[in-house]
Amino acid sequence: MSDGKWRVTASRYIHKDRWISLRADDCVTDEGAVVAPYYVLEYRDWVELIALDADNNVLLVRQYRHGLGDISTELPAGGMDPGETDPIAAAARELLEETGFTGTFSLVGESRPNAGTHSNRTHIVLARDVVRVAEPKDDPTERIETLWVSTAEAIRMALAGELTVGMQTSALLRGLAAAGVARIEPV
């Protein structure tokens, strides 16, 4: 019986730098069909934070995103640095650098940004009792504005498409459910 997985017969890098790698694989499906090349984007793992204050308000960030060409409203998030293996430590670093906030962190789970073409994982991290302890790191490539919204407003924004990064909608709903401040139930 077949396991459904493809076999890679050759692999080469088209582009590789510190931000992204584009790999071209020559593959054979379990039924013998040749798929060549099949492109895979290799990114570092990412962390996405659902940061809640003592009243369960949600911390959001607004910043310019060049791929969008506009300002984006998002969850605090970022790439794990080379050598980082602990998503909670990476999330704590990202939150402090981007916003100056910290809290009590726990791992909710992970997802895949795009399982068809991306090799990385997105780690969903919940931060509770978030407070500002420092000024954000001065980074001229990231001018970040923070804003607090109620849990209900964050859910409304996610469902209305006002949170620009689609995969963060899933992270937000999973994080709020894990925090016990939102309940997702079938109708």
Q: Which helix (H) or strand (E) holds 39?
A: strand 34-42
Question: What pLDDT does 58 receive?
Answer: 98
Mean pLDDT, the chain, whole residue set: 95
Question: What pLDDT does 115 receive?
Answer: 92
Spatial distance between the Cα atoms of 64 and 60, rounded to a whole number of angstroms: 14
Place 141 in a pLDDT band, splitting at 50, 70 and 90: confident
Each residue's pLDDT tens digit, 4-16: 999 999 999 999 9
Question: What pLDDT does 1 receive?
Answer: 67
> The tokens 């013998």 sit on which residue?
32
Question: What pLDDT does 162 receive?
Answer: 95
User: Which residues lie below 8 Å from residue 49, measured CB to CB, with a gap of 6+?
Assistant: 59, 75, 76, 77, 91, 94, 95, 125, 126, 127
Question: What pLDDT does 139 receive?
Answer: 85
Alpha helices in the chain (DSSP H): 87-99, 151-160, 166-179
Of all residues in the chain, the percent with pLDDT exceeding 70 is: 99
* pLDDT of 161 higher than 90: yes
Question: What pLDDT does 142 receive?
Answer: 86
> The tokens 């969008």 sit on which residue?
68
Max alpha carbon distance in the chain (Å)? 58
Place 83 in a pLDDT band, splitting at 50, 70 and 90: very high
**pTM surpassing 0.75?**
yes
Each residue's pLDDT tens digit, 26-64: 999 999 999 999 999 999 999 999 999 999 999 999 999
- Residue 173 tokens, joined: 């709903």
Of all residues in the chain, the percent with pLDDT exceeding 90 is: 89
Place 2 in a pLDDT band, splitting at 50, 70 and 90: confident
Spatial distance between the Cα atoms of 64 and 152, rounded to a whole number of angstroms: 25
Q: Report, as an integer, the average pLDDT of 133-152.
A: 92
